[in-house]
Amino acid sequence: MLLQVLDYIGVGVFAVSGAIVASRKQMDFIAFLFFATLTGIGGGTLRDLLLDVPVFWVHSNAYLFVCVAVSVAMWFFAHIVEGFGKPLRWADAVGISAYSVMGAAKSLSVGDTALVAVSMGVATATFGGILRDVIAGEPSAIVKSEIYVSAAFAGAGTYVLLATLGIGGWGAAAAAAALAFVLRGGAIQFGWTLPGYSSPKS
C-alpha cells in the first residue's frame, strides 16, 4: 500500500509538471498527453528496468489513466495553476519527495543493498524531469547550482537509513519525503545551494 500510494503521487505530480511545459509552449492536446505521460512514468520506468522487475505501468494501466486525467484537467485549468506561482518547480518538488522514497523502498523490497536503493531513489525522482526538459528544449534544474539531485539523495538516503535501523513504513517514508521537500522547497523559495567545485589555485 505504501509503495502504491507513493507511486501514484509521484506519477500524478510529475504528470502535472509535464503538462505545464506543454501549456507554456501552447501545444495541442496530444502533446499534453505525451509530456504528462513521459514525465509521469519516466523515472519509474527507468527504476523498474534497472531492478529487472515488471514495469509498473505495464503491470497496471491505472497509472496511464492518471496521466490522461491530469492531461485533461491541465488542458482546461493550466492557466489557473500557473497563477499559483512557480507551479512547475513546486510540482517537481513534490514529485522528487515522493519518488525518492518510492524508488528506494521498491529497491529494498526486492532485496537490493542500501547503496543500490539510494541510487534507485535518486534515479526515480529525477529521470522523468530530465527527459521532460531535454525533449522540450528547456534548461534542466539538474545543471543549475540550486539543490535538486541533492534533495532526492537526502530523501532516499534518509529512508534507507531509517529502514536499516528498523524504522520502516509510513513514519520513515513521511520523514524522508519531508526532508527532500524542505530541501527542494528551500532551493525554490530561498535559492538554497550547496558549495560548488572550485579549482585550487596553482
The 3-state secondary structure of 21-44 reads: HHHHCCCCHHHHHHHHHHHHHHHH
Tens digit of pLDDT for each residue in 40-58?
999 999 999 999 999 999 9
Name residues whose C-beta falls within 8 Å of residue 102's C-beta, 6 or more positions apart in sequence. Answer: 3, 6, 7, 10, 44, 121, 124
Whole-number Å distance between alpha carbons of 185 and 48: 27
Give phi and psi for 138, each to the nearest 5: -105, 150
Residue-level pLDDT at 168: 77
Q: Copy the grid coordinates of residue 109.
A: 523490497
The pTM of this model reads 0.89
Give phi and psi for 146, each to the nearest 5: -70, 160
Q: At residue 88, what is the residue type?
A: L
Residue-level pLDDT at 69: 96
